[in-house]
Amino acid sequence: MIHPVILCGGSGTRLWPSSRKAHPKQFAPLIGDESLYQQTLRRFAGPDFAPPLIMTGEEFRFMAAEQAAALGLSDAKVVIEPVARDTAPAILTAALILADDPEARMLVAPSDHVIGDLPGFLCAVAAGTGAARDGCLVTFGVPPDRPETGYGYLELAAEPVPGETVSLKSFREKPDQETAEAFLAAGTYLWNAGIFLFRVADVIAAFEAHAPDLVAPCRAAIAQGRADLGFLRLDAEGYGQAQAISFDYAIMEKAEQVAAVPLTGGWSDLGSWDAIWQARAPDADGVATDGPVTAIECSDSYLRSEEDGMQLVGLGLSGIVAVAMRDAVLVADKSRAQDVKAVVSALRAAKVAQADEYPRFHRPWGWYETLCLGGRFQVKRIMVKPGGVLSLQSHMHRSEHWIVVEGTAEVTIGEDVRLVTENQSVYIPLGTVHRMANRGRLPMYLIEVQTGSYLGEDDIIRYQDIYDRG
């Protein structure tokens, strides 16, 4: 059995507006109907794999658990990193959590990549397993098909052969164009995919040898951590004392027994919109589209609309990326895709909410989105998942009308508890203590119409909250 360790603490902004701080790339259905994180989980759902260990941030814990549960993976273990500390402390912590079985192998993978060829990937994992059994730290790399300057490279001792390990000479930073071309020509370089396989005991030993300062903080983070609503929440003080450093720097570049296995095609880190364009298999004119899009006489462009009811039309475009969402639209020169990160910084500096916020707000009980915001009213669409319970609360400045449009709500108003089902409504007067829950087995959808002089999210007095929020 291999223990998958899924790293999903990142909050990349280079795929804005689809990826934002409040809803990062790995949780977005960027390619296909499932999120990249879900696609990653699926990759490790076979009989050779133990339930996954998921390393994520405080703000993503419910999303990580919910998306895993949606795949039926109710035994996924979610570990909360209270502060971001890069990959080395995350991997060490995962290893320490699995240390009861030192012979166990762990496969560490980012949650935001795409792997087109699953059998090929599993083959490579099988090839790496032998080396890992011999005490190697195994990394996986992708044979380059172009002189890409956006990835780091693995320098090999020999030409890679599919299904076989090869020893590793060095790690190389993102190269310039000329160096990238030389790497491609040499045939002994792989793109560094950030995927690793090793025995738990071996990686802990490597940390003790090459990054001993990380060990005590990570041990403390686990020892002082606490189980919380099914999550393991690492202790913030302990984890915070670990240095933020990548696993490549801390371990792989220093360890002696390292090996690489080539992955077959179809891999992408989806690191920017031009990588998405590439992964979407553009047509003969170089045009790739997603969603309700009409492209007329375009070439070398990616057009994406994330709303069913939003028709995106491209006319005579060349080398353009356009991504349309309900609250934000990006139109960029495709060659500038790497600069989208800077765009988000500029929006953040200008205090544009869309820089970080996502139109659908995820909460432990489900999600909500604003349909219409007027001067003295707001209309929201709310989904409460089965078992979801909103906090017992009241508002100082607004009344609320709730109309259930799908499923059944259990509604508390003052002392009164009643069931409200499809096509029924209730009224929550200003100041009244109230709560909404879904005790059913299907998602419950309702429309909330708020009226009042102040409609901010912070007009809330919480009396009780099963999710332990402040």
Query: What's the distance, Cα to Cα, between the start and end of the chain in Å?
Result: 40
Residue 62 or 367: which CB sits closer to a second copy?
367
In angstroms, give the least distance from the CB of 316 to a second copy: 4
In angstroms, give the least distance from the CB of 437 to a second copy: 20
Residue 74 or 425: which CB sits closer to a second copy?
425
Q: What is the largest CA-CA distance in the chain?
A: 75
In angstroms, give the least distance from the CB of 457 to a second copy: 16
In angstroms, give the least distance from the CB of 422 to a second copy: 6
In angstroms, give the least distance from the CB of 281 to a second copy: 21
**Phi and psi of 301, rounded to 5°?**
-140, 155
H or E stretch including 215? helix 212-223
Tokens representing residue 435 in the block: 């709560």
Yes or no: say if 431 and 466 are a contact pair by the CB < 8 Å rule. no
Q: How many other CB atoms are there within 10 angstroms of residue 296's CB atom?
A: 9
Residue 122 or 310: which CB sits closer to a second copy?
310
In angstroms, give the least distance from the CB of 35 to a second copy: 22
Residue 237 or 297: which CB sits closer to a second copy?
297
Residue 87 or 438: which CB sits closer to a second copy?
438
Residue 172 or 381: which CB sits closer to a second copy?
381
Residue 101 or 333: which CB sits closer to a second copy?
333
| CA proximity to 92, closest of 247, 241, 324 | 247
Q: What is the DSSP string of 399-452?
A: EEEEEEEESEEEEEETTEEEEEETT-EEEE-TT--EEEE--SSS-EEEEEEEEE
DSSP state of 50: P
Residue 202 or 448: which CB sits closer to a second copy?
448
Yes or no: say if 92 and 201 are a contact pair by the CB < 8 Å rule. no
Residue 403, judged by CB atoms within 10 A of its CB (0-12, 13-18, 19+), counts as middle
DSSP state of 136: P
In angstroms, give the least distance from the CB of 332 to a second copy: 4
In angstroms, give the least distance from the CB of 423 to a second copy: 4
In angstroms, give the least distance from the CB of 405 to a second copy: 4
Residue 169 or 336: which CB sits closer to a second copy?
336
In angstroms, give the least distance from the CB of 466 to a second copy: 27
One-letter amino acid at 324 equals A
H or E stretch including 66? helix 61-70
Residue 111 or 289: which CB sits closer to a second copy?
289
In angstroms, give the least distance from the CB of 331 to a second copy: 5
Q: Which residues bind a second copy (CB under 8 A)?
A: 17, 292, 294, 296-297, 303, 305, 309-318, 320, 322, 324, 326-333, 335-336, 339-340, 342-343, 346-347, 350, 352, 354, 371-377, 379, 381, 399, 401, 403, 405-406, 422-423, 425, 427, 445, 447, 449, 451
**Alpha helix (H) ranges present in 83-151?**
87-97, 118-133
Residue 85 or 398: which CB sits closer to a second copy?
398
In angstroms, give the least distance from the CB of 26 to a second copy: 22
Tokens representing residue 31 in the block: 């390619």
Alpha-carbon gap, residue 378 to 375, rounded angstroms: 8
| CA proximity to 54, closest of 1, 100, 10 | 10
Alpha-carbon gap, residue 7 to 19, rounded angstroms: 17
Yes or no: say if 208 and 48 are a contact pair by the CB < 8 Å rule. no
Residue 60, judged by CB atoms within 10 A of its CB (0-12, 13-18, 19+), counts as buried
Q: What is the DSSP string of 156-192?
A: ESS---TTS-EEEEEEEPPP-HHHHHHHHHHS-EEEE
Residue 89 or 359: which CB sits closer to a second copy?
359
